[in-house]
Amino acid sequence: MPSFSVKSRGKLKTCEYDLQTLFEFIVKEIDCTILEGYRDEETQNRCFHEGRSKVKFPDGRHNEYPSRAVDVAPYPIDFNDRDRFHFFAGYVRAIADELGIKLRWGGNWANDLVKGFKRNNFDDLVHFELVE
């Protein structure tokens, strides 16, 4: 059974409890790695300038502590395998629904299961965030 590394677990601990609960459940079935939880000002602004985020600090969901967003990738990571990220996101969304956790994924910002993928203008396939 897969489990998180010490490094991934440390990053996950910077996130809201619901995200911790969700991904502790996910990793038991699908091997994955936590890329990022909380982002400080320097990290967030670097992500913005590199084009990996659309917002500067403090306007990102990663910028609250505990973080309301987490970046997670199926392991081993292959950023060119979009199908794998879509499959992984579908699994994460299904488990989140079962647990009653409202979630939005960076591959479908509109959260529209019919048209959302085609209208997405900024793919962040590793990004998951809590919504109200």
Measured torsion, CA atoms of residues 104, 25, 79, 11, in degrees rounded to the nearest 10: 90
The pLDDT score that the predictor gives to residue 120 is: 75
* Per-residue pLDDT at 110: 83
Span 75-128, pLDDT tens digits: 999 999 999 999 999 999 999 999 999 999 999 988 877 665 667 788 999 999
Q: Domain residue spans in the chain?
A: 6-130
pLDDT tens per residue across span 16-34: 999 999 999 999 999 999 9
Instruction: Quote the longest CA-to-CA distance of the chain.
Output: 38
pLDDT tops 70 at residue 68: yes
| Exposure b/e, 31-57, CB count within 10 A at least 16 = b | ebbbebbbbeeebbbebbeeeebeeeb
Q: Which CATH class is domain 6-130?
A: alpha beta
How much is the pTM?
A: 0.94
